[in-house]
Amino acid sequence: MEYGIFQLIILSIFINNFVLARFLGLCPYMGVSKQLDSAIGMGMAVTFVMTIASLVTWLLYNFFLAPTYQSVFYQVFHTPIQNVPDLTFLRTIVFILVIASLVQFIEMYIQKISPTLYKALGIYLPLITTNCAILGVAVLNIDMFFKDGLPLHNSFINTIVQAFAAGLGFTLVLILMAGIREKLELANIPKPFRGLPIAFIIAGLMSIAFLGFSGMNVE
């Protein structure tokens, strides 16, 4: 089964929403969804990091880790094709180091070009490193778009599209949640449920709503 671009977008934003269906990115989802502005900022930052991280990790996997004819060991160092090392077991370490470094660089870059944006995003940036949605989408790209170490048809484009759409989906539910929680400040919620508990219940209700998408036929 091949994935069309439009199909992937609808899949990643709605049917397989990374927060409400795949359970990825929950910590920032709960922590940053109290106000609309921080929600939007976090959403954009996450989308950006997700896309770039997926790009870099795809390249590293395809050209360094997987033991195929695409590997630099074969192309550049001329190792005989049967002896190209299988470094796929280093996937987790390499990916998380890439993500951590990326977040560091982006933080330094934002600090330089826009101190106001940096102040606004402040503590959230380092938190993006442990955002399981970023590592999650990177690993998902490999699981979905590679077979036996070789990229499937349109693997690279699919990876970028899925990462970007996943970020959009994350931003969408973050904004929705922030909108609801801002209104909720004025509501009379029973004391034990104020704060985190009611946020989860709302997420549950939103998740039910998004379940409705699972019947969608996107062929």
Residues 121-140 that bind other proteins (CB under 8 A): 129-132, 134-136, 139-140
Q: Report the alpha-carbon distance of residue 96 to residue 78 in Å, rounded.
A: 29
What is the total count of residues that contact other proteins (CB under 8 A)?
62
CB of 28 to other proteins, least distance (A): 10
Would you say 92 or 116 has its CB closer to other proteins? 92
CB of 116 to other proteins, least distance (A): 26
CB 204 within 8 A of CB 19: no
CB of 43 to other proteins, least distance (A): 17
Which tokens is 19 given?
């927060």
Would you say 103 or 168 has its CB closer to other proteins? 103
Q: Report the alpha-carbon distance of residue 150 to residue 142 in Å, rounded.
A: 10
Q: Give the footprint of other proteins on this chain (CB under 8 A).
A: 1-3, 11, 15-16, 20-27, 30-31, 69-70, 81-82, 89-93, 96-97, 100-101, 129-132, 134-136, 139-140, 143-144, 147, 152, 190-194, 196-201, 203-205, 207-208, 211, 214-215, 217
